[in-house]
Structure 1
Amino acid sequence: MLLTVSGPPGSGKSTTAAGLAEALDLDHVSGGDIFREMAAERDMTPVEFNEHAETDDRIDRELDRRLHEIATTREDVVIESRLAGWLAGDAADVRIWLDAPIEVRAARIADREDKDVDRAREETRRREESEAKRYREYYDIPIADLSIYDVVYNTARWGPESVLESIVSLVEAYDPDLDEGKHPVEGVRYDF
């Protein structure tokens, strides 16, 4: 089984993906972990590497290529990244999108990164705009189009345990023989 967990910063991707992997005895692959590995390969901190990525499109493309390769060659894995659902395409059994209002996400990020909520909100807004532009430019992915996802959750309305419990139930009820409701990923250019 291949599951993808996607969503904007602060939506609960990491918590949910790790919980899904544990609950369903699947491997967990995090785009953030791969990004940190790539930074270490270049002897940079993640912050330095992120700043470098803003001016070097090869970084995003390498990260996305690695995730796409994992999604199309491995089984029994939960892949977590903003583009995981798009990069996995039809190889994914269940594609999940998590979201929450910017105020909620900014508060989570501020708490996690020990920074001011206003600063977290502005950084998050700028990051999302930049990423949406790059995803469209690089791959023709309209990140705001949620029609490819099987499950979309507003994680501000339920706690992490409730979100996880609900998604685990949905995944366990998944019937791979029913493909009538699958949302194909079309028109994406994988220009890695």
Structure 2
Amino acid sequence: MVGRYGEAMAWPRTVVLNGDLGSGKTTASVMLAERLGVRRVSVGDLYRRMAAEHGMTALQFNLHSELDDKIDHQIDQLQHDIAASGQRLVVDSRLAWYYFTDALKVHLITDPVVAARRVLARPGDAVERYDSVEEARRQLAERSDSERQRFLARYGVDKSDLRNYDLVCDTTRATTEQVVTRIVEMLGRPPTASPATACHLDPRRVRPTADTDEAGEITVRHQASEFVAVRGHRRLTAAVHAGETLTPMLLVEGA
């Protein structure tokens, strides 16, 4: 199969994207669907419409959903039906990776302050409005934690465990085009049985653990919401000095 822009798509899989609030999921999913020539489905758009119908902000609706499981059941059934349809799609959803078992599972991350600035720059509405970067950062963190606790309680899954995903991309400084290119490259590879998660991270956001000239592939652990380098410090240092925005790294066990 050949994508709209000529990419050879040997493994025609659905792509599901989730990630940090303000990480650029919407922009990336729109561009990816256009590039692949497939339909995009956004569960986030549906969730925002439901929040508006209830006269609530996004954070209020998240907290309300913790008490009223009918909301999650409705969205769950929608995702289950879409997954069962067998269509090849791009799905923008916090929990699609849980339902689309054979999809390429992509998780986007970004620096919390960068995320806050992005959402603050969007046109405000009744569902999502902030008065400052700090308020946006705080509310985004509260919404994310509310979602995490709800998913843990109802599904027994932790969305913050990066080993749930095939590919993690850091959008802090990378362009949407760079991120989409990484996804398309990953999509063109045969699925593997390896549990390892491929990461393309901003090297400036990875904390080194040694001052050495150790060579080899950069491997990282994800702990306490940060990435820590455990091997490949020479390559990490070179990536920082070169001004790279997305550097290939491997997430190791024990993260």
TM-score (norm 2): 0.62
Q: Which residue of 2 aligns with 1:77?
A: 89
Structure in which a larger fraction of residues adopt strand:
2
Select 1:19's aligned residue among 31, 36, 41: 31
CA distance in 1, matches of 2:54, 2:173: 37
Shift of residue 73, structure 1, vs aligned partner: 2.1
| In structure 1, distance between residues paired with 2:146 and 2:175 | 29
Unaligned runs of 5+ residues in structure 2 are: 1-12, 125-129, 197-255
- Alpha-carbon distance in structure 2 between the residues aligned to 1:70 and 1:164: 23
Who is 2:76 aligned against?
64
CA distance in 2, matches of 1:166, 1:179: 17
Whichever of the two has the greater Rg, that structure is 2
Preserved CA contact (<8 Å) 1:8 1:82: no
Identity among equivalent positions (%) equals: 33
Distance 1:10 1:62, change over 3 A: same
Aligned partners of 2:87, 2:56: CA distance in 1, in Å? 28
Q: Tell me the residue number matched to 2:102.
A: 91
More helix by share: 1
- The residue that corresponds to 1:118 in the other structure is 134
Gaps of 5+ in 1: 184-192
Deviation at 1:157, TM superposition (A): 3.1
TM-score (norm 1): 0.81
Amino acid at match of 1:180: A
Q: For 2:67, what is the secondary structure of its paired residue?
A: coil
Given the superposition, is the C-alpha separation of residues 148 and 53 from structure 1 closer, same or farther in structure 2, using an over 3 Å criterion? closer
Residue of structure 2 in register with 1:167 after alignment: 183
Question: What's the offset of the Cα at 1:148?
Answer: 2.2
User: 1:147 pairs with 163, 178, 181, which one?
Assistant: 163
Question: Compared with structure 1, are the counterparts of its residues 136 and 72 closer, same or farther at alpha carbon in structure 2 (3 Å cutoff)?
Answer: same
Residue 153 and residue 169 in structure 1: after superposition, are their counterparts in 2 closer, same or farther (change >3 A)?
same
